[in-house]
């Protein structure tokens, strides 16, 4: 039997456009109502209590009503979700998102184009290509540059190193177990994961020491590269970081590029965090040297204020993208499917096959607001971190690790009478207490064996007093915990 009309009305179709519009408005109204209820970044719900209402849902008993399903969604998600627009949120690299990008999300989901082949996307293919060309130009990668959108920095780093592996092996014939990847000791963990996925040896990733500003030391890189020849290892890639996760540090790109090229290593720049500086009118110079990279990661869902997911990997020479190209007769036949000219299929340069039209979010943002406006928001969060750091230097209740390079601050409470190890034990308890309270959400990390709280400031609507409110919460939580122990 064919599906009933009542069932088919859930399929997006011109005949059901009115029902779609009604449901979409209901969803928007529901979200804006939820926003009106927000009183902080989190409610402090623990994992077990969060899991129970989800487990209690019987997925074999549909509600049959969008309004009822949305009401249920409050209980299983929205009532206790984390809100990144709240000034008390200062944990991870999650940003508030721009409204033009949310408008694009409506179109991306509704049309449901897949950016793997031209006959599934048509104009979308060229929107993405034009955007990639524009970002490559901003990075100064040259006329032969190209790239493709990805799901995020982890995938972008993986693809960059995939290209490096195949390029270096084609040039040197080196076995996989001889290849090495050099990265800052503070580089992103995805480099280690990529090395495993690419079949490299367990010791393939070499951590290069950092200086006092947490940047890769060129002298240490030179030493590590010089040792490889004597050990029979081959430097496959050097990964420079433009915005480390903990410190926002930007490695000295020109000095690293000199050494990478001298030793025949691929240079990959992980600018997932710092890539927003490409549109900053005041701080673009901090990325000087990025134009010498063989590949670059940029996450638009961090410092470009786009919804997840929205990232890209860029290459200085588009010919290198052939290392990820594969052909299938049913998708992107190598012979053009019997036609004289092959179609412009994006799958030829992507690790993914089916892929969302995430580029539209950035496209619509640029067409509504412009690049300079996005750059002003980037500068705003960096300015905020610097202003907050100046205030914190004068606050003897907290210890601050270093001046911010981008928009992260590392600090820990000062507790007279406690040694460093005791403060280390206090830090995670303070973080947990803040989560439980729901008013402030912060992250944590370890630097040189010591535990620190981390504030990642990506909210351009927040001010210095908002940051100081988070600090007040940290100090109060520390005082309460120490008071309980003393009682």
Confidence (pTM): 0.96
Q: Is the pLDDT score of 67 beyond 80?
A: yes
Q: How far apart are CA 169 and CA 150, in angstroms?
A: 24
Mean pLDDT value across the chain:
96
Of 330, 273, 322, residue with least CA distance to 298: 273
Give residue 137's pLDDT: 98
Of 392, 385, 378, residue with least CA distance to 455: 385
Q: How far apart are CA 243 and CA 407, in angstroms?
A: 9
Of 117, 40, 33, residue with least CA distance to 74: 33
Question: Sign of dihedral through CA atoms 227, 228, 229, 231?
Answer: positive
Give residue 454's pLDDT: 98
Regarding beta strands 398-400 and 408-413, do their DSSP bridges make them parallel or antiparallel, or are they unpaired?
antiparallel
Q: Is the pLDDT score of 267 beyond 90?
A: yes
Give residue 414's pLDDT: 96
Decide: helix, strand or coil at residue 210: strand
What is the pLDDT confidence band of residue 343, given thresholds at 50, 70 and 90? confident
Decide: helix, strand or coil at residue 242: strand
DSSP secondary structure string for all residues of 27-77: HHHHHHHHHHH--SS-----HHHHHHHHHT--TTS----HHHHHHHHHHHT
Mean pLDDT for the stretch of residues 396-422: 95
**What is the distance between the terminal CA atoms of the chain, rounded to a whole angstrom?**
73
What phi and psi, each to the nearest 5 degrees, are found at residue 279?
-110, 10
> Do 467 and 388 form a contact (C-beta atoms < 8 A)?
yes
Q: What number of other Cβ atoms are within 10 A of residue 170's Cβ?
A: 10
């Amino acid at each position: 039997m064919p599906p009933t009309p009542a069932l088919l009305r859930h399929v997006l179709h011109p005949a059901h456009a009115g029902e779609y519009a009604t449901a979409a408005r209901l969803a928007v109204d529901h979200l804006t109502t939820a926003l009106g209820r927000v009183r902080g970044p989190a409610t402090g719900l623990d994992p077990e209590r969060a899991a129970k209402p989800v487990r209690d849902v019987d997925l074999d008993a549909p509600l049959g009503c969008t309004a009822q399903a949305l009401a249920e969604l409050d209980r299983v998600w929205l009532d206790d979700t984390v809100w990144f627009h709240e000034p008390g949120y200062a944990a991870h690299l999650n940003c508030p998102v721009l409204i033009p990008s949310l408008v694009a999300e409506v179109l991306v989901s509704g049309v449901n184009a897949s950016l793997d082949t031209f006959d599934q996307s048509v104009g979308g293919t060229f929107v993405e290509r034009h955007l990639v060309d524009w970002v490559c130009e901003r990075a100064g990668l040259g006329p032969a540059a190209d790239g493709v959108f990805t799901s995020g920095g982890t995938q972008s780093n993986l693809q960059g190193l995939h290209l490096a592996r195949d390029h270096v092996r084609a040039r040197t014939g080196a076995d996989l177990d001889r290849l090495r990847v050099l990265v800052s000791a503070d580089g992103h963990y995805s480099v280690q994961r990529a090395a495993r996925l690419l079949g490299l040896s367990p010791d393939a990733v070499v951590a290069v020491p950092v200086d006092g500003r947490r940047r890769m030391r060129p002298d240490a890189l030179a030493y590590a590269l010089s040792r490889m020849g004597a050990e029979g290892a081959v430097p496959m890639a050097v990964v420079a970081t433009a915005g480390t996760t903990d410190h926002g540090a930007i490695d000295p790109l020109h000095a690293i590029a000199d050494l990478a090229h001298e030793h025949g290593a691929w240079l990959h720049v992980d600018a997932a965090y710092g890539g927003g500086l490409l549109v900053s009118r005041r701080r673009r110079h901090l990325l000087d040297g990025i134009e010498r990279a063989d590949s670059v990661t940029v996450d638009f869902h961090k410092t470009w204020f786009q919804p997840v997911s929205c990232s890209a990997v860029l290459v200085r020479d588009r010919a290198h993208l052939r290392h990820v190209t594969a052909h299938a007769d049913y998708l992107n036949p190598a012979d053009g499917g019997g036609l004289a000219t092959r179609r412009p299929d994006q799958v030829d340069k992507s690790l993914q096959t089916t892929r969302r039209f995430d580029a539209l979010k950035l496209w619509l943002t640029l067409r509504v607001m412009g690049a300079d406006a996005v750059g002003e928001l980037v500068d705003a969060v960096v300015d905020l971190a610097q202003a907050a750091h100046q205030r914190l230097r004068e606050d003897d209740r907290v210890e601050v690790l270093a001046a911010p390079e981008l928009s992260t601050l590392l600090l820990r409470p000062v507790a007279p009478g406690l040694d460093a190890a005791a403060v280390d034990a206090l830090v995670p308890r303070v973080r947990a207490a803040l989560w439980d309270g729901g008013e402030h959400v912060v992250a944590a990390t370890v630097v040189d064996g010591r535990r620190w709280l981390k504030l990642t400031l990506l909210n351009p609507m927040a001010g210095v007093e908002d940051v100081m409110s988070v600090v007040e919460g940290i100090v109060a939580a520390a005082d309460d915990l120490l008071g309980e122990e003393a009682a």
